[in-house]
Amino acid sequence: MVVADRHRPPMPNLSPPQEVAELEAALEKSRQVPGFRTLLLFFWGLIVAKCLLAEWAVERYHSPINTFWFVWVPSFLISGVITIGYAYWLFRELPRMPLSGRLVSATWVGCATGFGVLALAAVSDDVFSVYLLPALAAVLLGVGCFIHSVLDRRRIFKILAIGWWLSALWLFANPDVNALGWMSLSLVLLQVLPAGWLFFTRKRAR
């Protein structure tokens, strides 16, 4: 004999139209997350490629410009504010991101943080030449693309991972000022252009 549980809460009523509309809006925002992530790769790839190209030109031609204050800091401050503002608007009412999305985000945040630690060591403690930083960055970008390919299952990310690792081999073999220019070109070829292609193909598919 089954005894009814008198303490069981009543079944919820059907959602009113306003709640349904809010849910649809949240789901629509959740569909924008992959596009936002791709747009970030495109946007930040351009920013860093521009800064690296300026750094290469200043060092190659011995220009007396302080690139840290006049190139890197303004670019990262303005781009960071734009990124944080747009991310806040997008994720403000977003339901919990699926596990695959969290893993992709964690992968790229981990790669960026690891590179930040290496850059800090190279600049502050002179542990190794700063011209090795592009090679180390290429290795980390290859790792990020490879993990992304496992989660995303699109072949393009495996191709990009191989491209980054090949670029890293060249950069390790040539740790000089020209590594900055090569890294700038690699960012355009292996991040900016693929991210732009992925973004616009996703837009057309929708």
Whole-prediction pTM: 0.79
Q: Which two tokens stand for residue 7?
A: 């303490």
What are the structural domain ranges in the chain?
A: 30-205
Q: Dihedral sign for Cα 127, 133, 138, 142, please.
A: positive
Per-residue pLDDT of the chain (206 residues; tens, 9 = 90+): 444 444 444 544 545 555 545 444 444 444 555 677 788 889 999 999 999 999 999 999 999 999 999 999 999 999 999 888 887 876 675 556 667 677 888 888 899 999 999 988 888 877 788 999 999 999 999 999 999 888 887 889 999 999 999 999 999 999 999 999 999 999 999 999 999 998 888 767 66
Write down the pLDDT at residue 33: 57
Res 16: pLDDT: 56
Alpha-carbon separation of residue 110 from 117, 131, 144, 161, 167 (angstroms): 11, 22, 9, 16, 21
